Chain A
């Protein structure tokens, strides 16, 4: 059974650029959430989408945005990249019946 798929796995950008990350949840899961992991701040919630609607949003600036498509795939976008945006971005897919969240392998972003 396919797990949560994130692309790209690694990417390098320079300050001021923008980036788009993609997440395909486990088949049948309609909720997708995004987290940022850094050594200094740990794991922080970015936002969550359910049936194409954003249900929750974390405390991140407006440069961070996301969306979800009708097939439950989700994308997040970071504009005007800063050095501090270097992080591992994790996407999670939610199995409602058991309450479990399953994480993808992540997209590791380096901003130079």
Chain B
């Protein structure tokens, strides 16, 4: 079965702190996506990771992919309140981006 697991499911963190969200998947893939979703809104593309060892950074967010471990991480540096949202990872097991399997999401709450 193709599965994508995220942890934690809920994360409450203080502004200025660092934390990591983990995304594990069940079988071989070298194409992984991270999305952000605000309440009542659609999915905003954050990162596309297309090979083993890929690392991408945008502002306070950095994503990496280890295809051998079937693991991706989304690292948050010095969190700010504006980062409060739900973060999803999604894996493309088809190799064509035609069908993504999503994780359950991590709801991030950044408090003052």
Contact = CB atoms under 8 A, between A and B. Distances in A.
Interface centre among B31, B45, B90, B105 (most CB of A within 10 A): B45
Contact of A90 (B31, B42, B98, B104): B42
Contact of A45 (B41, B44, B100, B105): B100
Given A43-B88, A98-B48, A99-B48, A48 B98 contact: yes
A33 B97 CA distance: 9
Tell me which of A43, A44, A50 has the highest count of chain B C-beta atoms within 10 A of its own C-beta. Answer: A43
Nearest to A48: B98
Interface in B70-96: 88, 90, 92, 94, 96
Contacts of A35: 100, 102
Nearest to B96: A55
Interface residues of B, number: 23
B98 A50 contact: yes
22 contacts: A31-B97, A31-B98, A33-B99, A33-B100, A35-B102, A42-B102, A44-B102, A48-B98, A56-B94, A56-B98, A58-B99, A90-B43, A94-B97, A98-B48, A99-B97, A100-B33, A101-B33, A101-B100, A102-B45, A103-B44, A103-B45, A106-B42
Interface of A: 31, 33, 35, 42-45, 48, 50, 55-56, 58, 90, 94, 96, 98-106
Interface of B: 31, 33, 35, 41-45, 48, 50, 88, 90, 92, 94, 96-102, 104-105
Given A33-B99, A44-B102, A90-B42, 7 more contacts: A33-B100, A56-B94, A56-B98, A94-B97, A99-B92, A99-B97, A101-B33
